[in-house]
């Protein structure tokens, strides 16, 4: 287990955090969460859930664009950024989903639009399946919703578990997270981030506690069970795919589309796994257009 000193600390490391004025800390579901809220309090709620190894900084440019039409809620997932980690017994996809549902109940927020990046999309899908949220639209940004193909489906989670259980691993990874290493990691996603974006990831990845949060999340991920349940997902779903994504194959989205009734795919060419950070205006336009289309069907979402 990592100590508090191994984790990012708000007073020390959050002084220039993106959208800091929107940040606050909330105790819910047995954890202290770092959340960000912006937009009109009376507007429809839109939830943003980041992927493995990220935090609220991932939405630094996208969230303000969406706040013109929505009450936007973003958060650091358990064990990520400035949010407490989950205990080992709850560190799983259902456990993460249940914790997030507990946070939403505490805040009395019922998101009409739920946007998840990569593993964040899997959390939202599981939470919707379990009734923890009932959004009018689920947007998966390069969503990790199906198991890795072949042996990778067995080897990757097993390797992550071995690394997570070794208390030295997060420290070694954090010590090696220099600028060049983070640049290589980001290039491996197929995305091109600016210097500020790279610096924010490096800030987080130099803390063993944040690394342990990401490894623990991957070590206990069961996408096979989620894949079996996807045909029961009764939420209109938009699968937004970066054509240059090297982390989750773009072809996966079309397989997921066949699993979820009524799901649609939107391909964003020349963008990678972190498309929402590379081209936030493009992704915002896709989300807003889908929200308007959903509102026309449901007759209930007031998007300007």
The 10s digit of each residue's pLDDT in 219-243 is 778 888 999 999 999 999 999 999 9
How far apart CA 265 and CA 140 sit, in angstroms, is 10
pLDDT at position 239 is: 98
Q: In what helix (H) or strand (E) does residue 113 lie, and over which residues does it extend?
A: strand 113-117
Q: Is 258 exposed, middle or buried (0-12, 13-18, 19+ CB in 10 A)?
A: exposed
Half-sphere exposure in the Cβ direction for 124 (13 Å, CA): 35
Paired strand residues for 28: 31
How confident is the prediction for the chain on average, in pLDDT? 89
Half-sphere exposure in the Cβ direction for 77 (13 Å, CA): 33
Q: What confidence category does residue 180 fall into, taking pLDDT thresholds of 50, 70 and 90?
A: confident
pTM for this one? 0.92
Mean pLDDT of 265-292: 97
pLDDT at position 158 is: 47
Pair of tokens at residue 283: 């992704």
25 CB contacts (<8 Å, ≥6 apart)? 10, 32, 33, 34, 35, 82
């Amino acid at each position: 287990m990592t100590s508090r000193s191994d984790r990012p600390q708000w007073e020390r490391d959050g002084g220039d955090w993106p959208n800091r004025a929107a940040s606050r800390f909330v105790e819910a579901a047995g954890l202290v969460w770092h959340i960000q809220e912006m937009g009109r309090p009376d507007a429809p709620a839109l939830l943003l859930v980041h992927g493995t190894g990220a935090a609220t900084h991932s939405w630094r440019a996208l969230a303000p664009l969406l706040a013109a039409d929505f009450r936007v809620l973003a958060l650091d997932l358990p064990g990520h950024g400035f949010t407490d980690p989950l205990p080992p017994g709850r560190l799983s996809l259902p456990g993460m989903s249940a914790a997030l549902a507990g946070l939403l109940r505490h805040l009395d927020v019922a998101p009409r639009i739920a946007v998840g990046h990569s593993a964040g999309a899997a959390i939202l899908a599981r939470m919707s399946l379990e009734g923890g949220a009932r959004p009018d639209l689920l947007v998966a940004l390069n969503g990790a919703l199906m198991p890795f193909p072949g042996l990778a489906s067995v080897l990757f989670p097993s390797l992550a578990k071995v690394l997570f259980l070794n208390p030295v691993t997060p420290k070694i990874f954090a010590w090696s997270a220099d600028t060049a290493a983070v640049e290589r990691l980001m290039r491996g996603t197929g995305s091109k981030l600016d210097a500020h974006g790279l610096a924010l990831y490096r800030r987080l990845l130099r803390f063993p506690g944040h690394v342990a949060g990401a490894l623990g999340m991957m070590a206990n991920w069961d996408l096979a069970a989620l894949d079996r349940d996807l045909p029961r997902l009764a939420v209109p779903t938009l699968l937004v795919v970066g054509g240059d994504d090297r982390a989750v194959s773009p072809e996966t989205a079309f397989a997921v589309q066949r699993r979820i009734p009524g799901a649609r795919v939107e391909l964003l060419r020349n963008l990678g796994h972190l498309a929402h950070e590379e081209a936030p205006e493009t992704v915002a336009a896709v989300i807003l257009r889908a929200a308007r289309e959903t509102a026309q069907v449901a007759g209930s979402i007031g998007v300007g």
